[in-house]
Amino acid sequence: MNINVETYDFTNQKIVSEFVKDFDLPTKCPHCNQTGIQQFVNGVLIEDNSKEKNLFFYGQLVKSFSIVTCCLSCKNYSTNIINYQNDSRNDSYYISLESTFPPFEEIENDPPQNIKDEYPNFYNIWKEATEAKNSGLHNLAGMGYRKSIEFLTTDYLLKNPIEGVTEDWITSPKTTLIQKINKLDKPRLVTLGKAIAYLGNDETHYTRIHEDYSMDDLISFIDLFISEIESDLKFTKAEKLIKRPKK
């Protein structure tokens, strides 16, 4: 979208001009970590003619300006530092995001990007469960982790069809998580899936059966389950490579 940026003369401490540039606003909020529309509020470029403070790239001056955005989900404001480079050689310009304040917090043991891309429903639930755990809401976290694996197992079966297993059966509310896990095509996935389901049920039901296991065990089993599926994704990618028609 087009954004209006005011140019502020640092030496004389006044706004001297403004310009309009096309820029893709950030789509993720550092406060609530939700992806969605970030509303543009204001933008300012600080004009400083001190050569020692200027950055040059391939002989072209690189300037930085800041834009303030508001998250439409949590209503909090963020500041984004943008690098702006005018290329006089071909009458074009380049814009890139340098940093965001407040900075994004790294999520502990965040699943690999290919898992997030391939199984977004799972990742959204897993992330909410992790946020609950980090906030001390362990009872909610346990139920969330169990739900995340139900979604991951269901979507895995839908994406990797197995003979005799229909989509109607997979998505039926009458089909239990254990029944789905038993249909997985790899023994390690079945073993890990059952262990996760058992501990997930302990987090959901009134009576805890496996007293000698904790939520840390549940999370470590989920990490292994994810790792097994990620290995499949990487293998499939390699398989596509070697099956390409030779030029």
Beta bridge partners of residue 77, listed in sequence order: 70
Separation between Cα atoms, residue 139 and residue 133, nearest integer Å = 8
Give the percent of the chain with pLDDT over 90.
36
Percent of the chain whose predicted confidence (pLDDT) is above 70: 74
Domain limits, the chain:
2-101, 113-242
Q: Give the pLDDT of residue 52.
A: 41
Say whether 183 sits in a helix, a strand or coil. coil
Q: In this structure, are residues 78 and 71 in contact, taking their beta carbons and an 8 Å threshold?
A: yes
Bridge partner list, 119: none
Measured between alpha carbons, how far is 148 from 222 in angstroms, rounded to an integer? 9
Tens-place pLDDT, residues 114-141: 999 999 999 999 999 998 888 888 889 9
Q: Quote the pLDDT of residue 3.
A: 57
pLDDT band at 79 (very low <50, low <70, confident <90, very high): confident
- From CA 220, how far away is CA 135, in angstroms rounded? 19
pLDDT tens digit sequence for 88-101: 555 555 566 777 88
Res. 72: pLDDT tops 90: no
Residue 44 predicted with pLDDT over 90 = no
Q: What is the pLDDT of residue 59?
A: 42
Find out whether 166 and 180 touch, Cβ atoms under 8 Å: no
pLDDT at 55 over 60: no
Q: Is the pLDDT of residue 54 over 50?
A: no
Confidence check: pLDDT of 149 > 90: yes
**Confidence (pLDDT) at 58:** 38
Alpha carbon distance 192, 228 (integer Å): 10
Looking at per-residue pLDDT, the higher value among 205 and 83 belongs to 205
